[in-house]
Structure 1
Amino acid sequence: MTLLENVLLNYSDELIAILDREIPIGNYIPLDLSESNGNLNILDITDPYVCQEYIDKVLNNKPSMVAYGGYLERRNLYSKSPGFANRGEGERNIHLGMDFWAKAGTKVITPLGGVVDSFKNNDVSGDYGPTIILRHELGGIQFYTLYGHLSIVSLQGLYKNKEFRAGQVLATLGDTAINVNYAPHLHFQIIQDLGDNKGDYPGVCTQKDLDIYQKNCPDPNLLLKITPPFIG
């Protein structure tokens, strides 16, 4: 375990909410969007409305309000987006963050205190749409959290180094038109070294680059503790 992974794991023993606190954690359900999910074989999961129908079916089966998962999941979800196509280096289809699929307008909560590093509307189809990156320091280690697929109003009033406390409302989820062709959800990613990126960072990688990105983007569940073995 790296120093950052250890810091994240030991930040809290409690579950940490990242969406509206009025949604009980018991109303979260795991969602498998991997290429190995046979239920997706007959669906065009790249169509946001088909994807939403499938997510609604999963949510209604429980019933639940939030579907989550996706860290290091290999997906067919990006196969029709030009930015993810095979360009001789392999297809970008391995997801580096954790997704929380919920209704547009759902509040996004900061899981720990930090300041705004950068923000941007990544409005190319298949990208994040409105995106916020916060900078944090714990145990002497600086790192970042990325929040993608937000509403456009989430970027209003932001400025570099604006402070957000743990548990404060950061943003709201965007709809399909705003988050550039995805069903409404939050993409949450932890990044140790942001490099020269501003308001953006790869959320999906190729198999060839997986080792590099996995080391730089640890499992968000180490911090949130929503799924086993971290759930209490």
Structure 2
Amino acid sequence: MLTEKLLKTIQPASINVIDSSIKKSDYIPIDLSKNNNDLLQFDVSSSSAWEKYINDYLKSNQKELAYGGYLETRNLYDRSSYFNTVSKENQRNIHIGLDLWCPANTNVLAAFNGVVHSFNNNTNFGDYGPTIILKHQIDNFSFYTLYGHLSINSLEKLAKGKEVKQGEVIAQLGTAEVNGDYAPHLHFQIIIDIEEKEGDYPGVCSLKDLDFYTKNTIDPKLVLGLD
């Protein structure tokens, strides 16, 4: 299985997707699920209110980066018709990547050696904004990493097939104006089968599709040594 092979091959402590000058001892988990009553205290449809909440959380805990969200059910997506549907069964509100919350313009790093698979500016309200997908191979296994909510400049001078090295700066985090209207953060996702998608892949799914996406993604916390 790819998950087991990947975890045996890598050294999680040495893998970073955010500027490595931010030590992992300065990371802190954050709960943004529908069960967090703190989220009832501010307007969750406002990216500036989210940014204040995240910044206050980091300051009160004396940390630099907040992370979490893999398989977390969130009310955050209720604000966007891109995720909302008439049918509750098809409502997409389960997050299937890892969010790393820190300031705009922070450097984003390649998790592994690989090549640029595709990139796109996904401009739906609540979407990724600028997004890069890298393709990697370990022995005979191919897999993909997705980096969402980037700056516009991050897509400049990219080309499909361009080689990247583990730890190389590939992008910077975008502001709310360009990143889908969120507080600045990186959506990092590890995907086994990209399903012929280009520059985009679902980062939020419905309960109906959860079994498929649980099997087709890997919990990024395991790879980054955050568990």
Query: Which band: TM-score by shorter chain?
Result: over 0.9
Q: Deviations over 1:65-114 (max 9, x none)?
A: 11101000000111010111123233110000000011000000111111
User: Is 2:145 the partner of 1:145?
Assistant: yes
Across the aligned residues of Structure 1 and Structure 2, the Cα RMSD in angstroms comes to 1.1
TM-score (norm 2): 0.96
Gaps of 5+ in 2: none
2:182 maps to which residue?
A: 182
C-alpha displacement at 1:177, in angstroms?
0.1
The SS at the match of 2:54 is helix
C-alpha displacement at 1:4, in angstroms?
1.4
C-alpha displacement at 1:11, in angstroms?
2.6
2:210 maps to which residue?
A: 210
User: Is 2:204 the partner of 1:172?
Assistant: no
1:42 maps to which residue?
A: 41
CA separation of 1:46 and 1:8: change in aligned 2, threshold 3 A: farther
C-alpha displacement at 1:196, in angstroms?
2.1
1:201 maps to which residue?
A: 201
Provide the rounded CA distance (Å) in 1 between the counterparts of 2:168 and 2:208: 37
The SS at the match of 1:209 is helix
Name segments (4+ residues, structure 1) moved above 6 Å.
none
The structure richer in helix per residue is: 2
Look up the equivalent residue of 1:95 and give its one-letter code.
H
C-alpha displacement at 1:156, in angstroms?
0.6
1:134 maps to which residue?
A: 134
C-alpha displacement at 1:57, in angstroms?
1.4
Provide the rounded CA distance (Å) in 2 between the counterparts of 1:197 and 1:90: 20
Matched residue count = 225
Provide the rounded CA distance (Å) in 2 between the counterparts of 1:183 and 1:33: 13
TM-score (norm 1): 0.94
1:11 maps to which residue?
A: 9
1:223 maps to which residue?
A: 223
| Contact 1:150-1:173 at 8 Å conserved across structures | yes
C-alpha displacement at 1:34, in angstroms?
0.3
| Contact 2:12-2:222 at 8 Å conserved across structures | no
The SS at the match of 2:218 is coil
